[in-house]
Amino acid sequence: MGTKRSTEPSPKGPLAHIKVVDLTHARAGPTCVRVLADHGAQVTQVTRVDLGSFDSIFLGSDQQNLHRNKRSIAINLRSEAGCDVLYRLVRIADVIVENFRADVKHRLKVDYETLRGLNSRIVYGSISGFGQDGPYAKRAGVDQIAQGVGGLMTITGPPGGGPWRVGIPVADLCAGLYLAHGIMAALIERERSGEGQWVQTSLLEAMIAMLDFQATRWLIDREVPPQAGNDHPTAFPMGVFSTKDGMINIAASSNRMFKDFLKIIGAEEIAQDRRFTTPKSRAQHRSELRARVEDRTQQFTAGALIEALNAVGVPSGPILSIDQVFSDPQGTSPWRRLSRAHSLAS
């Protein structure tokens, strides 16, 4: 008889054997380390004796959010005694994560070359605003600056609305997630080579990577993507539509889903209009199509239309406020699983 492997997560997490020294501040770096901590890594957060201006802007609840599952120690890295304490931690660590500017980490003597001299197995993770070299390398970088330099603000918001910031710190979060991914890959590689390495990303690199097909539209098709508001950039009808009692999301871009969508709203004759026979032509004539279908969607309540569309395989859903997300029966399910995994890891 074979043994059946348990599907339950380990009480300590898959990274329980990994020691991490966290030198990060603000959001991108702590996001990376939070991923490692949530997987059970033994994290020691090094805080500054003089709390920096970045950290002072965050609410207390957000500090708990960013630094959960960590232990902390306050060290003055500008002093010789403080450096000695840090170096003792480095000698027994597996991972160091930092998001200092290049000149700062060299001045504090916490750069990769210095710390690798103490521990050749160290995986050293760095997040910067714009990269470790290049013309912007010495600039400080924060999320909204990266959203602007990375092009995201020109494809967000309503057409002609001017630059719009995304509602979450997407550059920070994605840079942190990319770095956590790279660190875990480097730990796996270290099992073969026995050597650590320097893993790097930046807010700008993460932002450009997240452009995905918008970047492809320029690099291959030489098309500068415009703002599309709540509509999908290239497919329609896929976006926000009005009902009797509010706005909902509908995604009926394929030919099959489009026909089923029209059948549900009682507008099957629209499919015969030559302007709306293909996905491309529907996108080209989206304003005319929107006017015709919204005349029908407004005859339904939001709940009734969402149910009817999902019953025939046309994706649709409500647009919830944050408090509604955490009271929604489906939205609370992954949150409960995530909370349970965090409690097991800790």
| Domain assignment of residue 272, yes or no | yes
Residue 223 belongs to some domain of the structure: no
Residue 1 lies in a domain: no
Distant-in-sequence, close-in-space partners of 341: CB < 8 Å, separation ≥ 6? 9, 38
On whether both 190 and 52 belong to a single domain, the answer is yes
Domain annotation covers residue 297: yes
Same domain, 316 and 173: no
Same domain, 274 and 168: no
245, two tokens: 């009692």
- Over range 323-340, report the average pLDDT: 75
Structural domain containing residue 251 = 238-325
**Is the pLDDT assigned to residue 34 strictly greater than 90?**
yes
Q: Does residue 129 register a pLDDT over 90?
A: yes
- The pLDDT of residue 55 is above 70: no
Distance CA 40, CA 54 (A): 27
Tell me what pLDDT residue 1 has. Answer: 43
pLDDT at 2: 46
**268 and 205, same structural domain?**
no
Q: Check 22, 94, 143, 172 and give the catalytic one.
A: 172
By percentage, how much of the chain surpasses pLDDT 70? 90
Q: Residue 12: what pLDDT?
A: 85
Residues 204 and 246 in one domain: no
**97 with 165, same domain?**
yes
- Residue 108 sits in a domain of what CATH number? 3.40.50.10540
pLDDT class of 224 with cuts at 50, 70, 90: very high
The reply to whether 231 falls in a domain is no
State the CATH number of the domain containing residue 242.
3.30.1540.10
258 and 178 within one domain: no
Element at 72 (helix H, strand E)? strand 71-75
Whether 66 and 109 share a structural domain: yes
Give the pLDDT score at 50. 67
Confidence class for position 212, pLDDT limits 50, 70, 90:
confident
What average pLDDT does range 138-156 have in this prediction?
96
The distance from CA 15 to its chain's CA centroid, rounded to whole angstroms, is 21
Rounded to an integer, the average pLDDT of 310-336 is 88
172 annotated active-site: yes
Domain count, the chain: 2
